[in-house]
């Protein structure tokens, strides 16, 4: 299965955060590993070729600690072998706060993070107006 990959015009820095995660949706559960994360999405690695659907929404969940987890609704954007890129379509306030802090700690630059958050807001406004 392949999805068309859009131009690589990244507005969001990716952080490399290797952790186990669980992707669920369409009546299936897919254990996976996070390759990288951004405020806009993630790249996941699966043990087998991913057979999910481009049209389905999935729930991604991963733990930062025993008590803290991040959960987001995602849609597939591209597949390259066992690696699948997803864009975040919804994330709750607690999870975005945790993800923001994780990105901030890994970027080491709060100004860069603020620019990315502003771009995320611009992107949300643009998408809503379409």
Domain 19-129: top CATH class: mainly beta
Task: With cut-offs at 50, 70 and 90, classify the pLDDT of residue 112.
Answer: low
Domains of the chain, residue spans:
19-129
Question: Per residue in 39-71, pLDDT tens?
Answer: 888 999 999 988 888 788 999 999 988 898 999
Task: With cut-offs at 50, 70 and 90, classify the pLDDT of residue 92.
Answer: very high
pLDDT of amino acid 115: 59
pLDDT of amino acid 25: 93
DSSP string, 27-72: TEEEEEEEEEE-SSEEEEE-SS-----SS--EEEEEESSSS-EEEE
Whole-prediction pTM value? 0.72
């Amino acid at each position: 299965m392949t999805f068309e990959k859009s131009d690589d015009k990244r507005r969001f820095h990716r952080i490399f955060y290797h952790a186990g995660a669980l992707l669920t949706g369409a009546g299936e559960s897919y254990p996976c590993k996070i390759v990288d994360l951004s405020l806009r999405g993630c790249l996941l690695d699966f043990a087998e070729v991913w057979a999910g659907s481009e049209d389905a929404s999935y729930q991604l969940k991963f733990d930062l600690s025993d008590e803290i987890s991040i959960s987001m609704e995602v849609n597939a954007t591209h597949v390259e072998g066992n690696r699948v890129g997803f864009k975040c379509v919804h994330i709750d306030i607690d999870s975005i706060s945790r993800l923001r802090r994780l990105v901030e700690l890994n970027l080491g630059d709060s100004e860069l993070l603020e620019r990315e958050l502003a771009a995320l807001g611009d992107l949300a406004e643009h998408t809503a107006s379409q």
